[in-house]
Amino acid sequence: MPLGIQHLLGLHGVSENDIQLILDTADNFYEVLQREIKLVPTLRGKTVVNLFYENSTRTRLSFELAEKRLSASPLNFSASTSSVKKGETLKDTIRNIEAMKIDMVVVRHSSPGVPYFLTQCTDAIIINAGDGFHEHPTQALLDMMTIRRHFKKLAGLKVAIIGDVLHSRVARSNAWGMKTMGMDVTLCAPPTLMPQHTDSLGVTVTDNIFEAIEGADVIMLLRLQLERQTSGLFPSVREYRELYGVDLEKLVNVPDHTLIMHPGPINRGIELASNVADSERSVILDQVTNGVAVRMAALYLLGGGESGDEEHV
Amino acid sequence: MKKHELLMDSTALDRALTRITHQFLEKNPDLDNIGIVGMQTRGVFLARRITEKINAMEKTSFQTGVLDVTLYRDDYRTAFKQPKVQITDIPFNINKKELLLVDDVLYTGRTVRAALDALTDFGRPKSIQLAVLVDRGNREFPIRADFIGKKITTLKNQEVALHVNEIDKEDSLWLMQLEEEN
Amino acid sequence: MYKKANGQTIYPYGPESPKPAILIKNGRVLDPENAIDDVLFVAIKEGKIVSFSTEEPEEFTPDTVIDAAGKWVTPGLVDLHVHLREPGREDKETIISGTQAAAAGGFTAIACMPNTNPVLDEESKIRYVIQRSEYCSCHIYPVGSITKGLEGKVLSPFGEMVKAGAKAVSDDGRSVYNANTMRNALNYAKSFDIPVMCHCEDPDLANNGHMNESVVSTRLGVRGIPSISEEVFVARDIMLAEYTGARVHICHVSTAGAVQLIRWAKKRGAKVTCETCPHYFVFTDEDLETYDTHKKMNPPLRTPGDREAIIAGLADGTIDIIVSDHAPHCAEEKEVEFDEAAFGVIGLETMLGVSITHLVKKDHLSPLDLVKKMSVEPNKIFGLNGGSLSVDSTADVTIIDPDATWTVDPSLFYSKSRNSAFEGLSLQGYAATTILNGKVVFDRTGE
């Protein structure tokens, strides 16, 4: 069964079948990553542009690695070295890049909706690598892959996502995807860092961390941007750590099987204590490994073929 | 697509595999240096049976490797929908091995071409020998099989279908006929 | 003559243009001020209405006879909220193109907002607009700024601006942030009996948002502009209106809470009027799923509940008038990232059709109510003489075909800009003929 989506713009509205297919495929790519030669020729001749308007070394590296492992030709375009500063519009930029005959675009941008915008100005296949506070679908997929590899299932698991939900595309993508996969999602943040309107998200919302982590199979922390303090959204880092930071003390009553996740980079000692981040529970580095597999799966499933019948081999 | 002709029943199928097993062992008497790999999907079942036959005859405990060649196919850019990527699992080191690659049907030779590329990415076997249950001709690549269960002549609008106990509740090999287009 | 591919034509106009004798027959005359809703003959001569009667007038020899069978004949429509962009951004709109768009939309008068470059904040700049309007296809009533340079600090010279032709003051585009400055402006405006048009938005609460704060903004990840950012300043300004006794006109009402506040203020006798725009009674924030920058404006499209409250406010008279908030922008400012895109949509050439389709045809307003909101009340708010077809009044007349169906195609607009939220929409009703000072300035068929 082929993928029902043409681009990967977000997980909102993506079907359970599609998520399942991406995760299944990613599991098989995970095997490729264990080989001595971690390279398959599948995307040979395909050019993938990594269009990064926001700094994100790890997401870009993960995509670039995924592209290289599939034998695609990555082309890196980052805002700091580009014509952006000369004032070229996004539309002109993408049209210029498209004129170089490219096949796919992986885009990271601070403005929500940019990946959708790009689908309107180019024929290339678009993969969203994070747009504003909107979505970061491959992050949520790698999170779900990590959870599924660990628990061998997704449906019925309880996940607590804790931190700056208001400014988090990771929280949103995970909320959509996990809900679709039948998981029980609780979002936890101080009310100032929680969107005013969460009724449509279909998740449990709380400002009490103990409520959130009670019975949770997975505790996912979000990175706290320290500049949120200066804009008056929380009074002090100390108070934030006290109320929402996860340390061993807060985990006393949490069962042994509960996983700790973080999309990275971690503010050690703020949202997550070091001895928790480095504990047995932590699957933070698995998330990084799985990220490459999930991105290979997305590139593979979206990037093939023009048209015509499947050949007999 | 409808069943056109029974090519092998379960007895014939088992005999063919037994013969292939014997031929392979005759040619590769050094049991320390052999390995068996089946190609996804149906080749895997045949490879497992050959492995069981060897283990039974020689009191050995070989495991069957499983190879998926989807990522090595040459039709990725033209196929309308992406074929499902399946598991590849070769639980032994293939370096310096006399490898037996097993598939159900040899036709254009393209899948075998992909398999050879894939296997050489895993290491450098001493040799790769190909066993197929059916060689139906119509090759597009210069590839031949070392061990063949049955050789038949087919038309382009026909297909060969292997049924195995594990999936289809019976072992049989069928020549299938595409429905006439009106 | 400026004819479009579909036949619609703008005719030249000037003070010296001949003013032929026109007889409009068979039309359904809608004149709320004279309580008329009847098929009548309307005779126009030398720029004045000379008679309206059930029988064909005797001793009247028309140069032109307009058969308005099946159409409405109404006092000229007035749009009190238009951004003409001249001076300063003539690439987006000019006084000429904007008034052509107005005539094509059925308007015989528009009010232009002062947020041009330079700002209309003194007598000479008001005079410039008035002079430029002389040869335009509709009357222009400039709105002067409340504060110099829209900076919210020093009051603009209301008296001199009024003398030069300004009919109201506004800092539209932003609020007067300081409540005491606003109080002073209201007190000062009383001397000239002009309305103060309030753009109500608390910039702190608006928090650099780009769409309504709601479940949709949460889902789309777009920074939200909460409805309270509008309501907090509506509350402030209506209370100041009551306290000072000045005339306050609340611009572009978009939220249920604002409608409620204004209803309350009117009940208490405050001299408060208000307006809304077609996009607020047609669209909601749910129409932004595809980050369509042509639906980005300020205030933003709100929730379905707000939309219902706007329609209810129009129906019960809380909302006095409909305006376009015509805000032209060039493509470069709209074909960009959603949060980089300029706020504002054009509306002069769609407002009538949208209002007929979504208010009259859906029985929220009667045809007479619509004429009140688009002609009678705007005239009253600005203290103008128009808004009726009384004998001897200026012959500003709009002939409307309420049943014509058409599809919005911005490439046929007279406006220089194309940023319409209504592109592709199928509408019923448009201005068939616009008569300014007794002269046909626009005709849909160009015959």
Instruction: Convert the pLDDT of each residue in C414-426 to its tens digit.
Output: 999 999 999 999 9
Out of 3.20.20.70, 3.30.390.50, 3.90.180.10, 2.30.40.10, the CATH code matching C2-73+391-443 is 2.30.40.10
Q: How confident is the model at residue B77 (pLDDT cuts 50, 70, 90)?
A: low
Domains present along chain A, CATH in parentheses: 16-136+289-303 (3.40.50.1370), 138-288 (3.40.50.1370)
Is A113 in CB contact (< 8 Å) with chain C? yes
Chains touching B by CB (3 or more pairs below 8 Å): A
Chain A residue numbers touching C332 (CB-CB < 8 A): 89
Q: Which residue of B has its CA nearest to A26?
A: B85
Domains located in chain B, CATH noted? 9-72+85-154 (3.40.50.2020)
State whether residue B9 sits within 8 Å of chain A by CB: no
Chain B, nearest residue to A300 by Cα: B82
Please state whether at least 3 CB pairs lie below 8 Å between chains A and B.
Answer: yes
Nearest-CA distance from C296 to chain A in Å?
13
Is residue A89 within 8 A of residue A142, CB to CB? The reply is no
pLDDT in tens, chain A (313 residues): 678 999 999 999 999 999 999 999 999 999 889 888 888 999 988 999 999 998 888 999 999 999 999 999 999 988 754 455 557 888 888 999 989 889 999 999 999 999 999 999 999 999 999 999 999 999 999 999 999 999 999 999 999 999 999 999 999 999 999 999 999 999 999 999 999 888 777 899 999 999 999 999 999 999 998 888 878 899 999 999 999 999 999 999 999 999 999 998 999 999 999 999 999 999 999 999 999 999 999 999 998 755 333 443 3
Whether the pLDDT of residue C374 is over 60: the answer is yes
Q: How far is CA B157 from CA A312, B2, B160, B173, B182, in A?
A: 11, 11, 10, 17, 14
CB contact under 8 A, A310 and B84: no
Distance CA A198, CA A171 (A): 12
Q: What is the pLDDT of residues C69-103, one digit of tens each?
A: 999 999 999 999 999 999 999 999 999 999 999 99
Residue A139 makes CB contacts below 8 A (sequence gap 6+) with A59, A130, A169, A170, A173, A174, A263, A291
Residue type, A21: L
Given an 8 Å threshold on Cβ–Cβ distance, is A300 in contact with B87?
Answer: no
With b for 16 or more beta-carbon neighbours within 10 A and e for fewer, the C340-358 pattern comes to ebbbbbbbbbbbbbbbbbb
Q: Nearest Cβ partner of A308 from B78, B110, B117?
A: B78
Query: What does the pLDDT look like over B20-59, one tens digit per residue?
Result: 999 999 999 999 999 999 999 899 999 999 999 999 999 9
Q: Provide the 10 A C-beta neighbour count for residue B40.
A: 19
Interface test with C, best of A118, A196, A201 (most C CBs within 10 A): A196
Q: How much is the average pLDDT of B103-121?
A: 94
Q: Nearest by CB to A305, which of B80, B110, B111? A: B80
Residue ranges of E strands in A132-231: 158-162, 184-188, 204-206, 218-221
Q: Distance between CA B113 and CA A42 in Å, rounded?
A: 14
Q: Hey, are the CB atoms on B78 and A3 less than 8 Å from each other?
A: no
- What are the structural domain ranges in chain C? 2-73+391-443, 76-381
Tell which A residues from 133 to 192 touch C, by Cβ distance under 8 Å: 133-135, 169, 172
Whether B114 sits inside 8 A of A43 (CB atoms) is no
Kindly identify which residue of chain A lies nearest to residue C288, measuring between CA atoms.
A113
Question: Which of C218, C336, C338 is opposite residue A198, by nearest beta carbon?
Answer: C218
Put simply, the answer to whether B87 touches A31 (Cβ < 8 Å) is: yes
Residue from C208, C215, C218 whose CB has the most chain A CBs within 10 Å, to mutate: C218
Cβ neighbours of A196 in C, within 8 Å: 213, 218, 224, 226
The SS3 assignment for C432 reads strand
SS (H, E, C) chain B: CEEEEEEECHHHHHHHHHHHHHHHHHHCCCHHHEEEEEECCHHHHHHHHHHHHHHHHHCCCCCEEEECCHHHCCCCCCCCCCCCCCCCECCCCCCCCEEEEEEEEECCCHHHHHHHHHHHHHCCCCEEEEEEEEECCCCCCCCCCCEEEEECCCCCCEEEEEECHHHHCCCEEEEEECCCCC
pLDDT in tens, A31-75: 889 888 888 999 988 999 999 998 888 999 999 999 999 999 999
Pairs of residues, one from chain A and one from chain C, whose beta carbons lie less than 8 Å apart? 67
Nearest to A200 among C219, C224, C291 (CB): C219
A218 in contact with chain C, both atoms CB, cutoff 8 A:
no
What pLDDT does residue A307 have? 38
Q: Is C248 helix (H, G, I), strand (E, B) or coil?
A: strand
Active centre residues of C (catalytic): 325
| Selected residues 136-165 of chain B with any CB under 8 Å from a CB in chain A | 159
CA distance A98 to A35: 34
Judge: C336–A90 Cβ closer than 8 Å, yes or no.
yes
The CA-based dihedral angle spanning residues A122, A123, A124, A130, taken in that order and rounded to the nearest 10 degrees: 50
Q: For position A308, what pLDDT does the model report?
A: 36
Among C216, C217, C336, whose Cβ lies nearest the Cβ of A89?
C336
Is the Cβ pair A31, B77 closer than 8 Å?
Answer: no
Q: pLDDT at position B79, please?
A: 63
Superfamily of domain C76-381: Metal-dependent hydrolases (3.20.20.140)
Q: What is the pTM of this model?
A: 0.91
Q: In whole numbers, what is the pLDDT of chain C averaged over residues?
A: 96
The alpha-carbon gap from C221 to the nearest alpha carbon of chain A, in Å, equals 4
Query: Is the Cβ of A34 closer than 8 Å to some Cβ of chain B?
Result: no
Contacts of A112 in chain C (CB under 8 A): 220-222, 291, 338-339
β-pairing, C248-250 vs C211-212, is unpaired
Distance in angstroms (rounded) separating the CA atoms of residues C291 and C294: 9
Q: Which residue has the tokens 């036949």?
A: C7
| Contact between chains at C339 and A172 (C-beta distance less than 8 A) | no
pLDDT attached to residue B41: 87
Residue B37's DSSP bridge partners are B65, B101
The residue type at A69: R
Q: A199 to chain C: which residues are within 8 Å by CB?
A: 215
Query: Mind telling me how many Å the CA of A113 is from chain C's nearest CA?
Result: 6
The answer to whether chain C touches chain B by having 3 or more C-beta pairs less than 8 angstroms apart is no
Cβ-Cβ contacts under 8 Å, C226 against chain A: 196
Cβ of residue B76 closer than 8 Å to a chain A Cβ: yes
- Residue B75: pLDDT band (50, 70, 90) is confident
Spell out which residues of chain B touch residue A24, defining contact as CB-CB under 8 Å: 84
B70, B77, B116, B155: which to substitute to probe chain A, counting the most A Cβ within 10 Å? B77
Please name the member of C216, C291, C332 whose beta carbon is closest to the beta carbon of A113.
Answer: C291
Predicted ipTM? 0.92
- The answer on pLDDT for B64 being more than 60 is yes
Q: Does residue A192 sit at the B interface (CB-CB below 8 Å)?
A: no
- Report the share of chain C in percent with pLDDT over 70: 99
Return d(Cα C22, Cα C26) in angstroms, integer: 13
CA distance B56 to B65: 18
Choosing among A117, A135, A193, which should be mutated to test the C contact, i.e. which has the most C CBs within 10 A?
Answer: A117
| Minimal Cβ distance to B79: which of A25, A70, A305 | A305
Q: State whether C338 and A111 contact (CB < 8 Å).
A: yes
Summarize the confidence of residues C106-122 as an average pLDDT. 97
Whether the CB of A79 is below 8 Å from some CB of chain C: the reply is: no
Q: Least CB-CB distance to A89: which of C213, C223, C332?
A: C332
**Model pLDDT, residue A311:** 40
- Which pLDDT belongs to residue A231? 83
B85 touches chain A (CB under 8 A): yes
